[in-house]
Amino acid sequence: MKKTIREYLVDNKVITSSDLTVCDAQLQEKGGSLFSCLVDKKFADPTKLAKILSDYAKVPFIEKITEKMAEPALLGKVPLQFLRANVVMPIRYEGKLYIAVADPTYFSPIDDLQLLLGNHAQVAVATQKDIIDAINRYYPLEGSKKMIEDLEEEAAELEEVQLGQV
């Protein structure tokens, strides 16, 4: 019989039973994620927690999401708000399509992305911070970039016209 993730974390000395009790009380009061609580309260190192979660789920651990892994066309298929709210990100790793997640036990966004991207997408674990940083860095905002460039051009043209009138 497979251990629960909670038992696995305690048995592998990532956290203690008292850490779980504190986080359970917080979750009852405020809601949220067990893993976020463990990191926020500094009960668990985020990287060590991510590694043990990948081991538990028997999926790869992604140390760092690089620009090479983040394909704008792939990211552009998923709304930015969905990626941020669920702390997930589609990536290309070792030539395969993966969904980088901070919590491999939170199946709903994984299922949603697999439907959107194709059922061949596999799961990998990365730290919450690394996923959020990668989303912020690599999400394609080409429309926004173009709009900023156009506004800068218009401002420069307006400035030239105004200088010519003086």
**62 shares its domain with 37:** no
**68 shares its domain with 126:** yes
Does residue 107 fall inside a structural domain? yes
For residue 92, list its beta bridge partners: 97
Does residue 145 fall inside a structural domain? yes
pLDDT band per the 50, 70, 90 thresholds, residue 2: confident
Does residue 73 fall inside a structural domain? yes
Q: What is the pLDDT of residue 1?
A: 73
**166 shares its domain with 85:** yes
- Taking the C-alpha atoms of residue 127 and residue 129, their distance in angstroms, rounded to an integer, is 5
**38 shares its domain with 101:** no
Q: What is the pLDDT of residue 51?
A: 96
Tell me the average pLDDT across 131-153. 71
Q: What is the pLDDT of residue 32?
A: 85
Which DSSP letter does residue 124 get? E
pLDDT per position as a tens digit, 79-127: 999 999 999 999 999 999 999 999 998 899 999 999 998 778 999 999 9
- Taking the C-alpha atoms of residue 36 and residue 49, their distance in angstroms, rounded to an integer, is 10
- Taking the C-alpha atoms of residue 126 and residue 164, their distance in angstroms, rounded to an integer, is 55
**38 shares its domain with 63:** no
- Taking the C-alpha atoms of residue 139 and residue 62, their distance in angstroms, rounded to an integer, is 18
Q: Rounded to an integer, what is the distance from CA 2 to the centroid of its chain?
A: 27
**62 shares its domain with 33:** no
Is the pLDDT at 150 greater than 70, yes or no? no
Instruction: Note down the domain range covering 94.
Output: 58-166
**82 shares its domain with 12:** no
Q: What is the pLDDT of residue 147?
A: 47
Tokens of 36: 């976020």
**20 shares its domain with 68:** no
pLDDT band per the 50, 70, 90 thresholds, residue 152: low
- Per the structure, the count of domains in the chain is 2
pLDDT per position as a tens digit, 28-78: 999 888 999 999 999 999 999 999 999 999 999 999 999 999 988 888 889
Q: What is the pLDDT of residue 159?
A: 66
**147 shares its domain with 81:** yes
**9 shares its domain with 66:** no
Sheet of 88-93, strands arranged across: 88-93, 96-101, 122-125
